Amino acid sequence: MYSNILVTVAYDEGHDATPSLSVAKTLLSEGGQITLIHVMEPAPVFALNYLPDGWREDLRKAIEADLASLAADFDNVATVVTEGDAAHEVLEHARAQSVDCIVIASHRPGTQSLLLGSTASKVVSRAQCAVHVARRPSTV
């Protein structure tokens, strides 16, 4: 059981945070803390001129609202929205907050890794705490 769990929440197409949240709930010790984190990746430079003013703030507010909705089912939960490289930000938050377990979903496997998505692969290989990989259910 873990007392300080960090759960990554992605908003890619077809991603559902429910399996990761279920895992975190199962692994959490009594009185423990869960933090939901989403990392907003930078928009491509070429797209910036085509995006409306305030788009980043609107997106952040929408993500914060969704994370709050996901957090409503837990007693001791915090939410974090940050920006940058997903793996780096997750690992840095885990280190800074003395997280003892990261729950991350594996999705979009590609050329960087045959078994895990690239972000999950980086987190698993570099984390200084336990990492639980929640596999996305197969659609086949």
pLDDT tens digit string along 25-82?
999 999 999 999 999 988 888 888 899 999 999 999 999 999 999 999 888 999 999 9
Q: How far is CA 119 from CA 17, 49, 135, in A?
A: 16, 28, 13
How far apart are the C-alpha atoms of 21 and 9, rounded to whole Å?
Answer: 9
Which CATH architecture describes the domain 2-135? 3-Layer(aba) Sandwich (3.40)
pTM, full prediction: 0.89
Hey, what's the torsion of the CAs at 110, 115, 120, 124, to 10 degrees?
Answer: -140
DSSP SS3 for 35:
strand
DSSP SS3 for 13:
coil
Residues in the chain: 140
pLDDT tens digit string along 80-130?
999 999 999 999 999 999 999 999 998 655 444 445 578 899 999 999 999
